[in-house]
A and B are shown apart, each in its own frame.
Chain A
Amino acid sequence: MTLVYIILILMFGGLISWIIAGKNSSLAKGIALLAVLADLVIIIGFWISVYDKFDLGSQQWLIDYRVEWMPQLGISFHLAMDGLSLLMTALALFLGAVSLIVSWNEISKNLGFYLFNALWLIAGIIGVFLSLDLILFYFFWEVMLVPMYFILAIWGHENRRYAGMKFFLFTQLSGLLMLIAIIALYFIHGKNSGQYTFDYFALIGTSLSAKTGLWLMCGFMIAFLVKLGIVPFHSWLPDAYTQSPTGGSILLAALMSKTAAYGMLRFVVPLFPEASKTFAPVAITLGVVSILYGAKLAYAQTDLKRMIAFSSMSHMGFIMVGIFSFQALSYQGTIIEMIAHGISITALFTVAGVIHARIQTRDMDQMGRFWEQVPKMGAITMIFVLATLGLPGLGNFVAEFLILTGAFKSNVTLTVLAALGLIASMIYALVILQKIFHGERRKEWKLTDLTPREVLAMGCLIVAIVWIGIYPQPVIKTAQPTVNSLEQNSNNTTFVNDTGPTNKMTLKNGDENMTMTRETSTFFLSLNKKGGGK
C-alpha cells in the first residue's frame, strides 16, 4: 500500500493546492512542497529500513502490490518496487521538490493549476517507475503527458504552443505504437499460455519468434527513443526543453527522459532479450550519434536553454550505449548516469531560469562577465558545468566511466567514438562558463546574486552530485539486485516460464554475483582514490 500512498499523496496534494491557491498562494505552494517532501521522507525512510536487504541479490522485489483492476481484460493494478525503482522514485521526488523550490516565484499566473499539474506530473512519473502491469505503465506514461503539455503550453516562453503541440504529438504517437506492441505481446502470451494478462511477471517469459520479437521491441523502443530524445526522434526535444518554464524544463529533462531509460531497462531488455541483442548495434550507434551530434549542436547554440537541451541529448546517448552493452558495469553506469544527469541538468536549467528571470533573455551573446556581479551563481554554475563535462569526483564522471568501461567489452569501435563525446562535452560545457561568466561584457545588466532559497536548492544538488561522485556505493548496492537480474536475463536468453516476484537465483549464481559486486566496488574505491588524487 505504501506505493499507492506515495502516488495518492501527490495527487491529493495537487488537488488541494489547486483549490487553495485562489485564496492563499503561499500556503498552496507550501502544501505542494510538503506533499513532495512527505513522500521523499517516506521513501528515504523505506530505503534506510531495507538497505541491508540489498546484500547480494536475495530478492529483487521489495514491495509487490497487486489488485484486480479490470479483470475482464486481464488488467491489474500492479505496483512493485525494486532497487532501481526505489532509486528512481527517490530521484523523482528529490528533483520534484527542487523544481518546486526554484520556481517558487516564477509562476504567478494561475499558480494553483500549475502546482496541480506539477504534482500530477511527478505522480505520473513515479507511477511509471512503479507499475508492473503493462497497461498501467502505459496509463501512467500518458498521464504524465497531459500535465506536461499544460505546463509547457500555458506557462512556457514565447513559442510555447508550437512546442507543446510538437511535444505532445511526438510522445503520444510513439506511445500508441508502444500500446500496439503491448497488446500484441498480450495476445501472443495469451495464445501460448491460455492466460490473458498484461502482468509483467507473466509476460516476461513469453517466447517470441525472432521476427515478432524484433517488431514488438521496436514498438516499445520507438516510444522510449522519442522520449529519450535520441537522434532521429529528437526534433521535439530542443523546442520543448527550451520553451518550458524552469520548473517544467527540470521535470522534463531530469525526470521524464529518465522514464524512457527506465522503460528500456525494465521492459525492453527483460521482455525481448534476443531482439534487444539483435538491435544492440543499431542502438549503440544511435547512442553514439546522439552523443556526438548533440555535443556538436550544443556547441552551436546561442540560446542558453537550447544549449543545455542539446547537452542533455548528448548525455542520453551515453544511457543508450550503457543499456545496450549488456554488461553489469554499464548497467550500473547507466543507473548512476540517470541520477547524476538528472541532478546536473536540474542545476543547469535552474541557472538558466535564474538568469532568465533577472535579465529576460536566454541569448548568451548578450551575456558576459557575470562572475564579477554574481560570484555565488558563477561558482555554483562552475561546479555543474564541470559535472557535465565529466570531472572526476562528480557524479557524471563515475557514470560515464562505468558505461564506457562496460561498453568497451562489447564494442570497441563505437566505445571509442562515444568516448570522444567526453571531449566534445568539455568544449560546449566550458563555453557556457566562458560566455556567461567570463569573456567581455556585452551589455550592462543589473544582476542580483542568488537568493537564499535558490542557494538552498542548489546546495542540495551540490551535495547530491558530490556524494554520487565520491561515494556511489549506496546507489550501486541498491541497484545491484536489479542489475544482476538484468544481466542474468541477457546472458541467459531461454527462460523459465514462471518468473515470479522472487528472483530465482541458484546459490551458485548468487556466489558469482557476490564476486561481481565485490569486483565492482573495489574497482570503484580504487577509481575514487585516483580521482581524488588528481
Chain B
Amino acid sequence: MISLTGLNLILPQLIIALAAIIVMLSIAVKRCHRFTNLFTLLSFAAAAISVLYIPRGSFGVSSLFVVDGFGKFFTVLIACAGFVITLMSYHYLNAREKRNEEYYILLLLSSLGALTMVISNHFVSFFLSLEVLSVSLYALIGYLKEEPAGIESGIKYLVLAAVSSSFLLFGIALIYMQTGHLDLSGIAAGLSSSGEFSGVFIAGLAMVIVGIGFKMALVPFHLWTPDIYAGASAPVSAFVATVSKGAVFAFLLRLFYSTGGLENKNVWTVFTIIAVASMLFGNWLALRQQNIKRLLAYSSIGHLGYLMVAFLAITDRGMQAATFYLVVYFTGMLAAFGTVIYMSNKKGEALYIDDYRGLFWKKPWLAAIFTTVMLSLAGIPLTAGFLGKLYLLTAGTEVGIWLLVIVLVVSSGIGLFYYLRVVAVMFAGKNENEASSEPVIGKIFPHGLVLTLLFLLLLWFGVYPSSLLEIIQQIASVIR
C-alpha cells in the first residue's frame, strides 16, 4: 500500500508530473513562452535537487517502484538532461514555431516517463512509464508543423514503437506465464525456484529484448534511428538520444541484473551478438553520412553497443562503467546536438557536415567545443570519452570477454574516421557558402553558456573524475 510517508521518495517524479499539469493549466490562462520555459527549467531543477531529500537506502514504493541510489542517480541525470534540453529549446522554438508552450508539456511528460522508468521495479510500471515516454515523444517528434519531415518521422516512430511495445508486452506475458509474477523480485524468485530456464521463458525474454532493443536502437532494431533523428527537431533528437535511451538502459540493467536473466548462456549470447552488431554496424554506417544528425544517430547506436559491453560483464565494475559511460555519453550527445542547434537558423538546421566548414576560423570557441565533443565521443584522452572507454575496457577485460573488447577497440577505430572528418571539416578552409552568414539561432545566453558548461564537464570528467567516480561506486553495486 502506498502511504503518504512514501510520497517523499518519489518527490522528483511528483514534481515533474505536477509541473506538466501546471504548464497545461497556465496555457489555458495565458500563453507566454518565456514563463513556460522558465517554469519548466525550475521544475527540472527542483526535481534534481529534491533527490537530496530522499533518505539513503533502498525503499520499495508499493511493489511498483524501488527508490535506491541507482534510481536516484539516474533521476538526477535525466532531470539535468531535461534542464539542458529546455534551455536549448527556447531560442530554437522561438525561431521556428509559433505555438511553443505545448512543447514543454510534452517534454515534461516524456521526462516523467523516463523518471518513473528508472525506478520501476515491476513490468506494469515499466510499461506505463515506457508508454508515457513514447506517446509524448510521438507528438514531440512531429511537433514542428511546418516541417513535413518531422511529421513523417513522427508517424514512423509511432508505428515502429507501437509494434515494438506489442512485442515487449507479448514477451512480458510469456514471462508472466512462466513465473506467475510481474514484479522483478517475484520473477527472480520464480526463476530460482524453477532452476532451468524454460523455452517459454527464453522466448519471453527474447521478445522483451526486441522491445527494449528497439527503444535503445540496438542493431538489428535500429532502423528507425537515423530517420527519426534527422526528421525531428534537434532538441527532440537530443532528447531521444539521451533521456529516452538512457532510461531504458537503466531499466535493462535493473531487469537483467536483479532477475539474473543474463546467467543463461543463450540470453548472454544473444546480447553479445546484438552488442557486436551494434558497435560494428553503428560505426560502419556512420562513415558515409553527410548529415550530421544521421551521423550522430549511427554514432549513438555504436555508443549503446559500447554500453552493452559493460552490461554484459555482469560485475559491479561493469555497472560502474556503464553508469559512468552513460553520464559521459549524455554530456557528449547533448553538447553535440547543442552545437547543431546553435548553428541552425530560421530556415532550417545546420544539417550537413559542410555547414561546419571552416567553423574554426569564424567561431573558434564553438568549434573548439564541438571538436572536444567529437574527440570525447571518439574517446581521445583529456576528454571524458576516454575515461569512459577506459572504464568499459576495464570492465570487459576483468571478466575476459575478449570478443567484445576487441570489437569495441576495432569499432572505435572505425569511429575515429567520421569523428575526425567532422573535426577536419571545421578546420578546413573557409566556407564560401552564403547561407552560413545568416543569423543563427545560438545566442550567448543561455545557449553559449550551456555549451560551455557541457564542454567544461567533458574536460572535468576527462581529467579529474574522482568525485563522480566516488558517487558512482557508491550507487552502482546496490542493484544486485
Contacts and interface: CB of A to CB of B under 8 A. Distances in A.
Q: Is there direct touching of A and B in the complex, by C-beta distance under 8 Å?
A: yes
B390 interface: yes
A476 B397 CA distance: 41
Interface residues of A, number: 32
Contact of A143 (B381, B424, B470): B381
B185 interface: no
A187 interface: yes
B187 to A, nearest CB: 32
Interface string A342-367: 00000000000000000000000000
Nearest to B397: A183
Given A72-B473, A154-B427, A165-B424, A180 B416 contact: no
A247 B464 CA distance: 32
A161 interface: yes
B469 A72 contact: yes
Contact of A180 (B393, B417, B424): B393
B375 A146 contact: yes
A176 B409 contact: yes
A336 interface: no
B214 interface: no
B260 interface: no
A161 B413 contact: no
A112 to B, nearest CB: 10
Interface stretch (A167-175, A259-267, A269-277, A404-412): A167-175
B420 A183 contact: no
A472 to B, nearest CB: 36
Contacts of B391: 73
A434 B477 CA distance: 70
A146 B382 CA distance: 10
Interface in B363-381: 375, 380-381
A183 B387 CA distance: 13
A142 B380 contact: yes
A186 to B, nearest CB: 8
A377 interface: no
Interface string B218-244: 000000000000000000000000000
Contact of B417 (A149, A154, A165): A165
Q: Which of B391, B398, B412, B464 has the most CB of A within 10 A?
A: B398
A139 to B, nearest CB: 5
Given A138-B381, A139-B381, A169 B417 contact: yes
Given A179-B390, A180-B397, A153 B416 contact: no
A169 B361 contact: no
A183 B427 contact: no
Contact of A179 (B393, B424, B428, B466): B393
18 contacts: A70-B387, A72-B470, A135-B390, A139-B382, A142-B380, A145-B380, A146-B375, A146-B380, A149-B420, A161-B428, A165-B424, A169-B413, A169-B417, A172-B413, A177-B409, A180-B393, A180-B397, A180-B405
Interface of B: 361, 375, 380-382, 386-387, 390-391, 393-394, 397-398, 405-406, 409-410, 412-413, 416-417, 420, 424, 427-428, 464-466, 469-470, 473
Given A146-B375, A179-B409, 7 more contacts: A70-B466, A72-B473, A139-B382, A153-B424, A169-B417, A176-B409, A179-B393
